Amino acid sequence: MTTSLHRTRRPVLPSMLKHGLLLLGALVMLYPLLWMLSSSFKPENVIFKDLGLIPRPFTLEHYVSGWTAIGVPFSRFYANSFIISGLSVAGTVLSCALAAYAFARLDFRLKRLWFALMLGTIMLPYHVTLIPRYIMFFQLGWINTILPLTVPHFFAVSSFFVFLIIQFIRGLPRDLDDAAAIDGASEWQTFWHIVVPLATPALVTTAIFTFIWSWDDFFSQLLYLNRITSYTVSLGLRAFIDSQDRSSFGPLFAMSVISLIPAFVIFIVAQQQLVEGVSRTGLKG
């Protein structure tokens, strides 16, 4: 009754106007991205004269020349980034899930204290631990290896995700756990065969955001990786800017486009997970 009232009241024109404005806004937002994509297929002398989005004439030369422009092929940077991000994801999901299960389902001494400390580290700026961590890795001889960028992830350093998974596990019914316990399942079996499968949505959210953050990371990679063969995509692009003269943006755009592919694929495949992850937790993305 009320909805039909609403519908009859709403005229067609404002609705079209609204869609028009929303579409215009979307176009303005996406225009720089689309322009970069299309420019990466335009010949160098056309890029800055042409504001259009259709590359004419069309060329792949920037992808070919950009791939090897700074000595080491871009595939190397890509592989390095994938190794670092992959290990970060594996470490974070595993260690955070273990800790979250303990906090959500088990009883132990000092639980309140640890829980409070876990919450306390969520908002802690990275910079407060930065310099001592650097000194520690320096003394371990880990500079110029991927270890400083991956090992901490195996120790659940992103408390935020511990919290995220705890909240999710708390929302799961306990019946299955109890049934498993009656059947003589150990805590490990309950964790692995019951809680982990049920908590998959939270684990996927954790995996996605850990991947994107470590893929986009620049600050710590800048600190720890100084040798060009161990460069990641972020560092490769940055070296690219320095090596290029101002006038050739084509190869730079081409490699920038390549660097965005993983995040874009995730965006296409896991849109629902992303939106839910953000609205439930305020993850930035």
Partner 1 sequence: MRHTLQTSSGDGVSVVTPPRRLRMSRELRRNLVAYAFLTPWLLGLLIFSAGPILASAYLSLTRYDLLSPPEWRGLTNYVVMFTRDPRFAKALQVTANYVLVSVPLQLALALAIALVLNRGIRALSLYRAVYYLPSLLGGSIAIAILWRQVFGLDGLINRALALIGIQGISWIATPETAVYTLVLLRVWQFGSPMIIFLAGLKQIPREFYESAEIDGAGRWNRFWRITIPLLTPIIFFNLVLQIISAFQTFTQAFIVSGGTGGPVNSTLFYTLYLYQQGFSAFNMGYASALAWVLLGIIGGLTLVAFLSSKYWVYYES
Residues 66-85 close enough to bind partner 1 by CB under 8 A:
none
Minimum distance from CB of 60 to partner 1 (Å)?
A: 19
DSSP string, 130-149: HHHHHHHHHHTT-TTSSHHH
Backbone angles phi and psi of 140, in degrees to 5: -80, -5
Neighbours of 81 (CB within 10 A): 23
Give the residue among 250, 283, 247, 255 at the shortest CA–CA distance from 39. 250
**Of the candidates 12, 51, 113, 182, which one interacts with partner 1 according to CB under 8 A?**
51
Residues 5-44 close enough to bind partner 1 by CB under 8 A:
18-19, 22, 25-26, 29-30, 32-33, 35-36
User: Binding segment for partner 1 among 54-62, 66-74, 170-178, 247-255 (CB under 8 A)?
Assistant: 247-255
The residue type at 282: G
The answer to the question of residue 260 lying near partner 1 (CB under 8 A) is yes
The answer to the question of residue 251 lying near partner 1 (CB under 8 A) is no
Minimum distance from CB of 174 to partner 1 (Å)?
A: 16
The residue type at 111: K
Instruction: Say if CB 273 and CB 207 are below 8 A apart.
Output: no
- C-alpha pair distances (Å), 82 with each of 76, 216, 251: 10, 11, 22
**Of the candidates 82, 238, 248, 273, which one interacts with partner 1 according to CB under 8 A?**
238
The answer to the question of residue 211 lying near partner 1 (CB under 8 A) is no
**Closer CB to partner 1, residue 206 or residue 256?**
256
**Closer CB to partner 1, residue 180 or residue 257?**
257
d(CA 55, CA 167): 48
Paired tokens of 229:
């063969």
**Closer CB to partner 1, residue 10 or residue 71?**
10
**Of the candidates 54, 175, 245, 284, which one interacts with partner 1 according to CB under 8 A?**
284
Paired tokens of 19:
């869609």
Give burial (CB, 10 Å; 0-12/13-18/19+) of 251: buried
Residues 86-115 close enough to bind partner 1 by CB under 8 A:
94-96, 98-99, 101-103, 106-109, 111, 114
**Closer CB to partner 1, residue 61 or residue 187?**
187
The answer to the question of residue 156 lying near partner 1 (CB under 8 A) is yes
**Of the candidates 75, 200, 229, 271, which one interacts with partner 1 according to CB under 8 A?**
271
**Closer CB to partner 1, residue 58 or residue 126?**
126
Neighbours of 133 (CB within 10 A): 17
Neighbours of 285 (CB within 10 A): 13
